[in-house]
């Protein structure tokens, strides 16, 4: 998977080939985003709109920066000293990169780096990871954990939240009789849907998924995709995937990234049929440099 | 293996067999050497356990647990270890509470907040030094700090000395165990909007529960056999006491006192005390290892 130098030069010089959704439909608007791991820059001037109640897929070869881009959207990179983002990420018009109330290089021991606005941001932008990350507690408690961070609810209300969340994640029927069993006892696919349920239980506007199906078998993947398609009614999804068929199947918009730049961003229906850039054409047809 | 001829890929049948046979012989010699070494180590262990069991069990009876340590010169079979057993349990309990509280917090700080932190590097290094420090030095330290100012040994001073011996063990295992948890699990908690502290307390600690218990048990195993820290700090006590500010008896102290005496009854009790400690250490180790193994299968 290597691109030759002419493509690297092109990637560096080109503006993103973009067919953007209308501004009033955007829930997120990334503008001129640079990202640094210490001294190494890994995102270069990324502009990307995210349309409300749609699925946006990010594709590209390993190391192209798609996961990095995703991880800036909920500021999860804050956990790691030395990682920083510059530019703008407008979430409903508000730049989330300014949500910090202490400088980014302050030590994590102060505890304030993820407090305040950033915690609220994460309540509204949830995340599901590559490997399933059920908490070491019961299925019920896995869901209740996030809810309790923000709301005081009665047992009956919590029961309902748990049922609705699991139903929307297409997991309810499989676990309704064992809600008090450990989440660790579920299969990988079930665990991943539990993580989706946990994420949507706090009622986020956006759900970020970082290669959520890469550790799942095809059947589990299909179930997860079905759940995501149905979730679109109530929230916005941004998904990083290595699976081009998956991106084509479920996404409304596709962004193709290469070497830290967003090369092409278009409606998926067009992007996969007629990629405009040579780089994306090579990538989706499996031909490289 | 031992041949030095640099013949490039010689495929002649005779030479291949030649080298093969030689390798085989060297292999046998190596296996024999390691087996002998293992046998020596096991023999030593078996002999220790044998004499412990043989001499300890014969002196074991109910009065060991119900009667306090006897004065010298009493009849063989009289007296017991009640005060020493209770003293040991009391000091171990206090010491464990201290060691667990400090060790788990320190280990957590090292694992969760210590990356790229110079202070953490220093703390980790000093902890490793303390881990291998001779315990008699720790006893002296506790003596200077907690015995001299109060003009006499006490159970508290002993417990603190034991805690100082055990805290590095708990700190080290806590850090190691917490580092085994995946970063994605931490990120998953933070991504829900939970603070880092809450993620550590309700997710990371819980996920590491078995490992933390194991670390505690191994720390207890280390602590329950320690004698040197108690020699200067507890001052020993021939009588039953649960007053933590007063001198107190303990099993290791009793062994140190009784084992070298000419009194047969005292020497009997020293063996019994050794057996009790060995049983405590052995069971703590076995339970700890079983738990650790169990958690790996999950």
Q: Is there a domain that residue B75 lies in?
A: no
What pLDDT shows up at residue B106? 95
Question: Cα angle at B139 between B87 and B99, to 5 degrees?
Answer: 65
**Domain harbouring B278, CATH code:** 1.10.3720.10
CB-side exposure of A278: number of CA atoms within 13 Å?
Answer: 11
Does A111 contact chain B (CB < 8 Å)? yes
Q: Which two tokens stand for residue A167?
A: 């139903």
Indicate the residue among B59, B93, B113 that finishes a domain.
B59
Give the chain B residue nearest A198 (alpha carbons): B192
Q: Which two tokens stand for residue A176?
A: 């309704």
Whether residue B185 sits in one domain with residue B42: no
* Residue B36 structural domain: 13-59
What percent of chain B is predicted at pLDDT more than 70? 92
Give chain B's mean pLDDT. 85
Contacts of A82 (CB under 8 A, 6+ apart): A37, A38, B116
Quote the DSSP letter at residue A206: E
Mean pLDDT calculated for residue range A61-79: 89
Number of H helices, E strands in chain B: 13, 0
What pLDDT shows up at residue A10? 53
Q: Can you say whether the dihedral through the CA atoms of B60, B65, B66, B70 is positive or negative?
A: positive
Measured distance CA(A211)–CA(A230) in Å, rounded: 18
How far off is chain A from B127, nearest CA to CA, in Å?
20
Greater confidence, B13 or A272?
A272
Name the pLDDT band for B4 (thresholds 50, 70, 90).
very low
Q: Is there a domain that residue B68 lies in?
A: no
CB-side exposure of A162: number of CA atoms within 13 Å?
Answer: 23
What pLDDT shows up at residue A159? 92
Q: Is there a domain that residue B258 lies in?
A: yes
Encode pLDDT of A249-266 as tens digits: 889 999 999 988 888 898
Q: Which two tokens stand for residue A119?
A: 């915690």
Q: Count CB atoms within 10 A of the CB of residue A115.
A: 15
Burial of B45 (0-12, 13-18, 19+ CB in 10 A): exposed
What pLDDT shows up at residue A197? 92
Taking phi over 0 as left and psi of -120 to 50 as alpha, with beta for the rest, A38 belongs to left
Whether residue B227 sits in one domain with residue B286: yes
Report ipTM for this prediction: 0.81
Whether residue B111 sits in one domain with residue B30: no
What pLDDT shows up at residue B259? 86
What pLDDT shows up at residue B261? 84
What pLDDT shows up at residue A109? 32
How far off is chain B from A289, nearest CA to CA, in Å?
34
Most confidently modeled range among A68-77, B31-40, B85-94, B271-280 = B31-40
Mean pLDDT calculated for residue range A2-31: 70
Interface touch B191/A74, C-beta < 8 Å: yes
Whether residue B251 sits in one domain with residue B139: yes
- 178-197 of B, contacting A, C-beta below 8 A: 182, 184-197
Say whether B247 sits in a helix, a strand or coil. Answer: coil
Whether residue B150 sits in one domain with residue B88: yes
Measured distance CA(A196)–CA(B38) in Å, rounded: 53
Domains and CATH numbers, chain A: 5-284 (3.40.50.300)
User: Rounded to an integer, what is the distance from CA A85 to the centroid of its chain?
Assistant: 17
Measured distance CA(B189)–CA(B203) in Å, rounded: 8
Whether residue B202 sits in one domain with residue B106: yes
Whether residue B274 sits in one domain with residue B152: yes
Question: Considering its fold, how many domains does chain B have in total?
Answer: 2
Q: For an interface test with B, which of A133, A150, A214 has the most B Cβ atoms less than 10 Å from its Cβ? A: A133
Whether residue B269 sits in one domain with residue B156: yes
Q: Can you say whether the dihedral through the CA atoms of B286, B292, B294, B296 is positive or negative?
A: negative
Please state whether beta strands A55-59 and A253-258 pair in parallel, antiparallel, or not at all (unpaired). Answer: parallel
What pLDDT shows up at residue B75? 74
Q: Can you say whether the dihedral through the CA atoms of B132, B137, B141, B146 is positive or negative?
A: positive
What pLDDT shows up at residue A12? 56
How far off is chain B from A105, nearest CA to CA, in Å?
12
pLDDT of B217 > 50? The answer is yes
Quote the DSSP letter at residue A237: E
- Residue closest to A198 by CA, chosen among A227, A218, A220: A227
What pLDDT shows up at residue B298? 43
Contact list, A212 vs chain B (CB under 8 Å) = none
First to last CA, chain B: 41
Q: Could you tell me the pTM of the whole model? A: 0.77
Nearest to B298 among A122, A184, A198 (CB): A184
Q: Can you say whether the dihedral through the CA atoms of A202, A207, A209, A212 is positive or negative?
A: positive
Name the pLDDT band for A8 (thresholds 50, 70, 90).
low
What pLDDT shows up at residue B15? 60
pLDDT of B81 > 80? The answer is yes
Measured distance CA(B10)–CA(A170) in Å, rounded: 64
Q: Is there a domain that residue B72 lies in?
A: no
What percent of chain B is predicted at pLDDT more than 90? 30
Quote the DSSP letter at residue A106: S
């Amino acid at each position: 998977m290597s691109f030759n130098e002419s493509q690297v030069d092109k990637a560096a010089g080109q503006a993103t080939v973009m067919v953007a959704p209308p501004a009033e439909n955007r829930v997120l608007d990334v503008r001129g985003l640079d990202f640094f791991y210490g001294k190494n820059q890994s995102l270069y001037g990324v502009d990307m709109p995210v349309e409300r109640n749609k699925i946006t897929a990010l594709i590209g070869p390993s190391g192209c920066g798609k996961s990095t881009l995703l991880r800036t959207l909920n500021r999860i990179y804050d956990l790691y000293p030395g990682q920083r983002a510059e530019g703008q990420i407008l979430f409903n018009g508000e730049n989330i990169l300014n949500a910090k109330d202490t400088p980014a290089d302050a030590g994590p021991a102060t505890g304030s780096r993820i407090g305040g606005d950033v915690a609220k941001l994460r309540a509204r932008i949830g995340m599901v990871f590559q490997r399933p990350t059920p908490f070491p507690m019961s299925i019920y408690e896995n869901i209740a954990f996030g809810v309790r961070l923000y709301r005081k609810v009665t047992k009956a209300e919590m029961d309902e939240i748990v049922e609705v969340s699991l139903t929307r994640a297409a997991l309810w029927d499989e676990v309704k009789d064992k809600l008090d069993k450990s989440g660790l006892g579920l299969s990988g696919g079930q665990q991943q849907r539990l993580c989706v349920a946990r994420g949507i239980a706090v009622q986020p506007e956006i759900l970020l998924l970082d290669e959520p199906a890469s550790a799942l078998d095809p059947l589990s993947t299909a179930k997860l995709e079905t759940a995501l398609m149905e979730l679109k009614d109530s929230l916005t999804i941004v998904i990083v995937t290595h699976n081009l068929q998956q991106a084509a199947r479920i996404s409304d918009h596709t962004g193709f990234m290469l070497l830290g730049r967003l090369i092409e961003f278009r409606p998926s229906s067009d992007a996969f049929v007629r990629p405009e850039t040579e780089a994306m054409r090579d990538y989706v047809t499996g031909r490289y440099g | 293996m031992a041949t030095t001829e640099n013949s490039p890929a010689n495929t002649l049948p005779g030479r291949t067999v030649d080298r093969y046979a030689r390798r085989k012989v060297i292999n046998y010699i190596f296996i024999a050497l390691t087996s002998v070494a293992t046998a020596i180590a096991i023999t030593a262990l078996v002999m220790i356990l044998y004499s412990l069991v043989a001499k300890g069990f014969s002196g074991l009876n109910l009065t060991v647990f119900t009667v306090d340590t006897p004065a010298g010169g009493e009849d063989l079979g009289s007296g017991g270890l009640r005060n020493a057993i209770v003293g040991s349990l009391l000091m171990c309990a206090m010491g464990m509470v201290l060691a667990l509280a400090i060790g788990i917090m320190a280990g957590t700080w090292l694992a969760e907040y210590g990356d790229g932190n110079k202070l953490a590097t220093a703390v980790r290094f000093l902890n490793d030094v303390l881990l291998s420090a001779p315990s008699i030095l720790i006893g002296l330290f506790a003596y200077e700090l907690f015995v001299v100012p109060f003009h006499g040994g006490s159970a508290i001073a002993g417990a603190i000395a034991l805690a100082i011996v055990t805290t590095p063990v708990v700190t080290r295992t806590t850090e190691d165990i917490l580092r085994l948890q995946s970063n994605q699990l931490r990120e998953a908690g933070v991504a829900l909007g939970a603070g880092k502290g809450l993620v550590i307390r309700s997710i990371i600690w819980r996920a590491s529960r078995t490992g933390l218990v194991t670390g505690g048990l191994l720390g207890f195993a280390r602590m329950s056999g320690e004698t040197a820290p108690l020699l200067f700090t507890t001052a020993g006590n021939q009588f039953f006491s649960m007053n933590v500010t007063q001198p107190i008896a303990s099993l290791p102290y009793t062994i140190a006192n009784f084992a070298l005496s000419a009194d047969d009854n005292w020497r009997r009790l020293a063996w019994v005390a050794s057996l009790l400690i060995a049983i405590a250490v052995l069971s703590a180790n076995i339970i700890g290892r079983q738990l650790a193994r169990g958690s790996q299968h999950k």
